[in-house]
Amino acid sequence: MGVDWSRIMPKEPVGELNEAVNFAALERYKWIINRVRSYGMKVMLTLFHHSLPSWAGEYGGWKLEKTVDYFLMFTRLVVDSVSDVVDYWVTFNEPHVFCMLTYCAGAWPGGNPDMLEVATSALPTGVFNQTMQWMSVAHSKAYDYIHEHSTLSKSLVGVSHHVSFMRPYGFFDVAATTFANSLTLFPFLDSICGKMDFIGLNYYGQEVVCGAGLKLAETDEYSESGRGVYPDGLFRMLLQFHERYKHLKIPFIITENGVSDETDLIRRPYLLEHLLAIYAAMIMGVPVIGYLFWTISDNWEWADGYGPKFGLVAVDRANDLARLPRPSYDLFTKVATTGKVTRKDRDRAWIELRRAAKEKKTRPFYRAVNKQGLMYAGGLDEPLWRPYVDRDWRFGHYEMEGLHDPLSRFFRFITQPLTTRQKPEPEDEDVELALLPLESFELAS
């Protein structure tokens, strides 16, 4: 869960701090957290999840150093109030996503970049690196304060870092993909690597880079939000991040993984296949100690509003916000309580989705697409209707097609007889896969 900076500090603290603080809101958050713990659950608390106070946005927000000082004031208030009941602290959730969409693209509130800022945003001296630098400073200071004042001796501090598996659409998009990865994959974590107790990864799927945008690949399955479904990508990202940061001897937590899917037909195999991807990474030595599915109930998205449905539980907004558990809720409950992904559940979930694809059924899609197949950052108020894609994207089954530009497709077509190999017969699978217990990995002291 997260705390809203602007709810606790509705005014800029330029004078007496107490005059800028809503202490009733702090007490309310503490009451909620205590209720959570009373049900036997541990608390992971996020301090900044894209919610910049409007007063900070007015003067430039994370473009200015004084925001670091204000954020530390806010952090101190929260830590001093609830440190005795918080097990995991996330200082920033997806900081580079916030900086890109707020200060580089102007798609989120609080940024309002001018044309020069947009044009120079990705340069070393541009607004992206500028805002990311102040966020890394803020994280480091918050990390120190939490550890100096937390009353829970085993509380861990980290960040939730957004990753996606990026691949180029065509030959001329290879450089753009490499550049995008160079900005987003490692720089922020590298800047704070001495101030993390765990690395949180948020993974939703793959993105096909085309020019300066993202391409809708017609042969791939997508969520309602326009994220390409690709469980193998999570496995590959975990191995890549483990290789880079294994010297730190700290664990990983999958802090977000989920799919927007009102029909719930994609969500069930999506859940199981990504758990299997994590399991495979753990077998190869990646220390994953936790998994958080996004999300429990349908939520509001920054760019998409209430359109895409992410919840294991549906929210009926026309009927007094009634909560209606979807079939995936029961499936998640079963996996969480047994610690197992059974072959029967995996097959059933996949067969139901495959049947819908064979029958040419459609489902909502909330991402605008232009005539060239490029997706816009903003969402749609009313969805398009897109058919399910008849493609095997299960973990270990997805076959990468290569580049999609006309020249690459033509070359692949004429060389296909020379490169096609007969698939080996699949080996008999175990009836069930037991997920490794979290305690099997000891945390670094």
Q: Is 425 a catalytic residue?
A: no
Contact predicate 67/134, CB 8 Å: yes
Number of H helices, E strands in the chain: 14, 13
Tell me the three state secondary structure of residue 207: strand
Cis peptide before 255 (omega within 30 of 0): no
Structure tokens at 239: 């191995």
**CB-facing half-sphere around the CA of 399: CA atoms within 13 A:** 6
H/E stretch holding 288: strand 288-293
Per DSSP bridges, beta strands 88-93 and 44-48 are parallel
- Identify the CA nearest to 139 among candidates 188, 207, 86, 202: 188
CA distance 67 to 414: 58
Tell me the three state secondary structure of residue 276: helix
387 vs 272, 374, 384, CA distance in Å? Answer: 22, 18, 10
What sign results for the dihedral spanned by CA atoms 377, 3, 36, 291? positive
Q: Which amino acid is at 141?
A: K
The residue annotated as part of the active site, out of 117, 256, 262, 273, is 256
Structure tokens at 326: 């979807």
Q: Which value, in Å, is the radius of gyration of the alpha carbons in the chain? A: 22
CA distance 164 to 173: 16
CA distance 170 to 307: 31
Contact predicate 196/237, CB 8 Å: no
Structure tokens at 255: 């802090």
Residues designated catalytic? 256
